[in-house]
Amino acid sequence: MTAENTGRRSILSGSTFEEQIGYARAVVDGDWVHVSGTTGYDYAGMTISDDVVEQAEQCLRNIGAALKEAGCSFADVVRVRYLLPDRADFEPCWPVLRRCFGEVRPAATMLVCGLADERMRIEIEVDARRRTA
C-alpha cells in the first residue's frame, strides 16, 4: 500500500535539506497536517539572516506556505514547538509569533537545544488539523 492509498501525502518546499536528509516539509495524513521543524532559511536562495526575529518571520512564511498547500492555515494549528539554542532569543520573537498564534492559542512548548547549523537561531514545528466542511 502506497502513501497515496492511505490518504497520506508529502509536501516539499524545495529545500536541499529535504533531499539530503530524507524528509518532507509537511505530511498530510487525513485531517492532520504535521509540519517539520522549520528554520529561517529562505529556500529560494538558501540564505538565512543573522537576526533571530527575521529568522522567525521567515520560519512562519515557510510554515504558512506548507499549511496553505495542505489546505489549511495558522488558524488550524493546534500545537507549536519552538526550538532555540539561546533562550534569550525567544522573547524578542514574541511579537512575530503572536501575530500568527495570538488568536489561535495552540498548545506550545519552547525548548533550548542545539540546531543543525550554528547560523540557525530558531526552529518552529507545528501540527494542524484541517477543518472539514
pLDDT tens digits along 53-100: 999 999 999 999 999 999 999 999 999 999 999 999 999 999 999 999
Burial of 45 (C-beta count, 10 Å sphere; 0-12/13-18/19+): exposed
CATH code at 59?
A: 3.30.1330.40
DSSP state of 70: H
Task: Dump pLDDT digits (tens) for 32-48.
Answer: 999 999 999 998 888 99
Q: How many domains does the chain have?
A: 1
Residue ranges making up the domain that contains 113: 4-129
Q: What is the pLDDT of residue 132?
A: 67
The candidate with the shortest Cα–Cα distance to 109, out of 88, 78, 73, 131, is: 78
How many of the other CB atoms lie within 10 Å of CB of 71?
Answer: 13
